[in-house]
Structure 1
Amino acid sequence: MLKLLLSRLATAIPSIVGVVVVTFMLTRLLPGDPAAYFAGLAASPQAIAEVRTKLGLDKSLPAQFVGYIVDLAHGNLGNSLSTGQPVVAEIATRLPASAELTLFALILAVGIAIPLGVLAAVKQGTWIDHLCRIVTTAGVSLPVFFTGLLFAYVFYYLLQWAPAPSGRLDVFLSPPTHITGFYLIDSALTGNMEVFWGALRQLALPAISMAIFSLAPLARMTRGSMLSVLGSDFIRTARASGLAPGTVVFTYAFRNAVLPVITVLGMVFSFLLGANVLVETVFAWPGIGLYAVNALITSDYAPVQGFVLTMAVLYVALNLAIDLLYGLVDPRVRLDS
C-alpha cells in the first residue's frame, strides 16, 4: 500500500506544476486590466501606471512568474486586490462552506443512486428499472444552474417552503461556535439545534440541485455494473447453492460490481467541485466558487490562481483516495502496484 501511495504521489506532482504554470499564464491572458479597474473610471493614464507599478504588473511575465513561485514556496498566495486580505486566509474561511455543500450533495446522490441502481439491475424490466432510467435521463439533461434556479423559483418564490437563497444561514441566526467550519457539525456538537435546522434548511435546495446532477452517472454505472456481474457464472453457482437472494446480491454481486462505481464516484466528486461555482452563484453561497467568480469579474489574479490551485490539490487528493480505496476493495490492485 505504501508503494502504491508513493507512486501515485510521484505522478501527481507534475500535474500540480502544470496547473500552476497554466493558471498563471491564463490569468495574464484574460481580457481586462486590473490596474485600470482598481484605479477607477476617472483615473488618468499616470495614475493607472502607478497602480500597475504598485501591483508589480509592469514587470515582465518571467519576472512575475518567478515572484509568484517564490511566494508560493513560502505558502503565500498573495493578497486579494478587492478585499485586501490574504488569499490563503479567505480560502480557508470559505472552503468549509463549499466542502459542506459538496459533501452533503454527494451523500444525497450516493444514498439515492446506488440503491436505485442495484434495485434496477435486480428488478430489470420492472417499474423500478424504468424509474431509474427516467431519473438518470432527467439528471443528465438538466444543467445544475437551471435546476437551482427552478428550485428557488418553485420552493422559495411560489410555495414559500424554502428560505431565501441568501447564504448558509438566515440573517436572524448567528453562526455556531467555530470548530470544523461545517455549520451542521458545529451546531450539532454545541447542541444548538435552532442553528442546525436553520443551516439544514439553507443547505437543502443547493445540495439537492447538485445531487440530481451527480446521481445520474452513479445510478447508471451501478445498474450496468450490477447487470454484468449478475450474469456471471459464479453468481449462478451461488444461487444454485441455495444462498439467500440478499447474500447473493450484496455479498457477492455488489462487491464485485463496486470498482467501476468507485471510479465514477471520483469523477462525480470532481464534477461537483466545478459545479459548486454555479450553484454558489445562484444561491449566494459564500464558498470559494463564488469567491473565484467575483475575483474573475474584477480581474483579481491572486484569488483566481488560489482557487484553481486549491481545486487541483483537492482533485489530486481525491484521486489518491480513490486509488487507496481500490486497494482496500480489491487486493489485486495492491499486488499489481
Structure 2
Amino acid sequence: MRSGSLARYIGTRLLLAIPMVWILLTMVFVLMRVAPGDPVSAALGARLSADQLAERRAAAGFDAPILQQYWDFLGHIVRLDFGRTLTDNRPVTDIIVENGGATLTLTLAAVILAVLFGLPMGLHAGRRRDKPDDIVIRLFGILTFAAPVFFVGLLFQLFFGKALGWLPTSGQASPVVQATVETKTHILLLDTIIAGDGEATGDVLKHLVLPAVTLGLLTLGVLVRMTRVNVIQTLGSDYVESARARGIPDRTVVVRHALRNALVPVITVMGLQAALLLGGAVLTEQTFNWPGIGNQLVDYLNNRDYTAVQGIITFFALVVVLISLLIDIINALVDPRIRY
C-alpha cells in the first residue's frame, strides 16, 4: 500500500511538472522578445551588412511569424536542443556540457558545506533557545543571508588570498594543471582523481575553497534559521514530551524524533533555494573567474547574444524544475503523510 501511494504521488508530481515547464519556457521565450529589434541585429548589427543580417535572421528563423518561432523553440527544447550562439556560432548544448562541470562542482560543494555546518548549528540553536550561543548563531545566520555574495567573495579574496596568501583567488586550477590533466568528464576535480594525480587534485580543491565557501554562506544562513525555527516547534510538540516522559535520552529524542520531523520544511526550503543558488553561482563565478555556465552567461549578456542567453536560462529553468521534483520525492520518503 505504501509503495503504491508513493508511486502514485511521484506520478502526480511528474504530471504537474509538465505545465510548470511549459509556463517557464513560455516566459523565457516572451522575455527574450520584448526588447525592440531582433537578437541578430542586437548581437551582430555593428559587424555585418544589411544583406548579411537578413541572411543570418533567416538562418536563425527570426524572419518567421512569432507563433512559428514559438513552436520551433518548444520543439528544439523537447529534443534538448538549446539553440546556437550568434557571436561564435556554438551550440548552447556544448557550452552546458563543457562548462557545466565547473558549475556543478561549485554548487555541490556549496550545498555540502551549507548542510554540514547549517544543520548542526540550527539544531544547536534550537535546543539552546535564547541562550547566548543561540543569539550568536542567529546573528551569524542573518549576516550570511543578507551579505551580497560578490562582496563576501571580494573580502575573502583580499583577506585569504592577498593579505595572508593562503588560497588562490581566481580560476578553477593552476594553468599547468588545466593544461596537463586529460578531460574525460568535463569535471576537473573528477578528472584529476581518475588520473590519480594527487597534487593536481589538491590544487583544484585549493581553488575551490573560497568560491564554495562564498556561495555556501548564501544558503547556510537560510538553513540555520529554518532548522532552528522548526526544531523549536518540534521540541514543543506532544510526542516529544511523551518520549521524554518515558525516559528516552534527550539526545535520542532530539536526533531521532525532533530533527527528522523538523527536516521536512527545511528540505522544502532548500529546494526553493535552488534558483537563488544558481543566481549566486553566476555572481560567484564572475567574482572568482570560475569557468562555469554563469560566467559564460554574463559574457553573452555583455555581447547581447540573446539566443545564447535564452538557451542558458532555459537550461537553468529546467534544472530548477527538476530539483523541485526531487525535493518533493525526498519529502515523501522522509514523511509518509505527504503521499496521501
Deviates more, 1:155-164 or 1:179-188: 179-188
Out of 295, 304, 307, which is 1:302 matched to? 307
Give TM-score scaled by structure 1 length: 0.91
Is the Cα contact below 8 Å between 2:110 and 2:215 reproduced in 1?
A: yes
CA distance in structure 2 between the partners assigned to 1:236 and 1:38 by the alignment:
65
Equivalent in the alignment of 1:210 = 215
CA distance in structure 1 between the partners assigned to 2:196 and 2:132 by the alignment:
43
Out of 173, 177, 181, which is 2:177 matched to? 173
* Cα offsets for 1:204-237 (capped at 9, x unmatched): 1111111111111110111111111112222222
Out of 247, 270, 276, which is 1:271 matched to? 276
2:141 is aligned with 1:136: yes
CA distance in structure 2 between the partners assigned to 1:257 and 1:137 by the alignment:
20
* Cα offsets for 1:127-183 (capped at 9, x unmatched): 320221121111122011211122122222333222131x21111213644454333
Where does the alignment leave 5 or more consecutive residues of structure 2 unmatched?
A: 1-5
- Seen in structure 2, the aligned counterparts of structure 1 residues 77 and 119 have a Cα distance that, compared at 3 Å, is same
- Structure 1 segments, 4+ long, off by >6 Å, are none
Secondary structure of 1:11's aligned partner? helix
Where does the alignment leave 5 or more consecutive residues of structure 1 unmatched?
A: none
Deviates more, 1:233-242 or 1:248-257: 233-242
Secondary structure of 1:79's aligned partner? coil
Is the Cα contact below 8 Å between 1:27 and 1:301 reproduced in 2?
A: yes
Give TM-score scaled by structure 2 length: 0.90
Out of 113, 117, 120, which is 1:115 matched to? 120
Equivalent in the alignment of 2:131 = 126
CA distance in structure 2 between the partners assigned to 1:246 and 1:38 by the alignment:
61
Work out the percentage of aligned pairs sharing the same amino acid.
36
Q: Offset at 1:108?
A: 0.3
Equivalent in the alignment of 1:255 = 260
2:236 is aligned with 1:237: no
CA distance in structure 1 between the partners assigned to 2:101 and 2:57 by the alignment:
34
Equivalent in the alignment of 2:297 = 292
Q: Offset at 1:247?
A: 0.8
Deviates more, 1:119-128 or 1:1-10: 119-128
Letter in 1 for 2:213: I
CA distance in structure 2 between the partners assigned to 1:170 and 1:89 by the alignment:
23
Secondary structure of 1:172's aligned partner? helix
CA distance in structure 2 between the partners assigned to 1:187 and 1:161 by the alignment:
22
Q: Offset at 1:70?
A: 3.5
- Seen in structure 2, the aligned counterparts of structure 1 residues 72 and 266 have a Cα distance that, compared at 3 Å, is closer
Deviates more, 1:301-310 or 1:249-258: 301-310
Letter in 2 for 1:333: I
Secondary structure of 2:176's aligned partner? coil
Is the Cα contact below 8 Å between 2:268 and 2:328 reproduced in 1?
A: no
Give me the CA root mean square deviation.
2.1
Letter in 2 for 1:149: L
Q: How many residues align?
A: 334
Out of 206, 211, 232, which is 1:227 matched to? 232
- Seen in structure 2, the aligned counterparts of structure 1 residues 210 and 34 have a Cα distance that, compared at 3 Å, is same
After superposition, residues 1-337 of structure 1 pair within 5 angstroms as: 1-30=6-35, 34-36=39-41, 39=44, 41=46, 43-165=48-170, 167-174=171-178, 176-334=181-339, 336=340
- Seen in structure 2, the aligned counterparts of structure 1 residues 321 and 51 have a Cα distance that, compared at 3 Å, is closer
Q: Offset at 1:42?
A: 6.2
Q: Offset at 1:94?
A: 1.3
Q: Offset at 1:126?
A: 2.7
Letter in 2 for 1:136: G
* Cα offsets for 1:299-335 (capped at 9, x unmatched): 323322221221122111111111111121111122x
Is the Cα contact below 8 Å between 1:291 and 1:303 reproduced in 2?
A: no
Is the Cα contact below 8 Å between 2:153 and 2:284 reproduced in 1?
A: yes
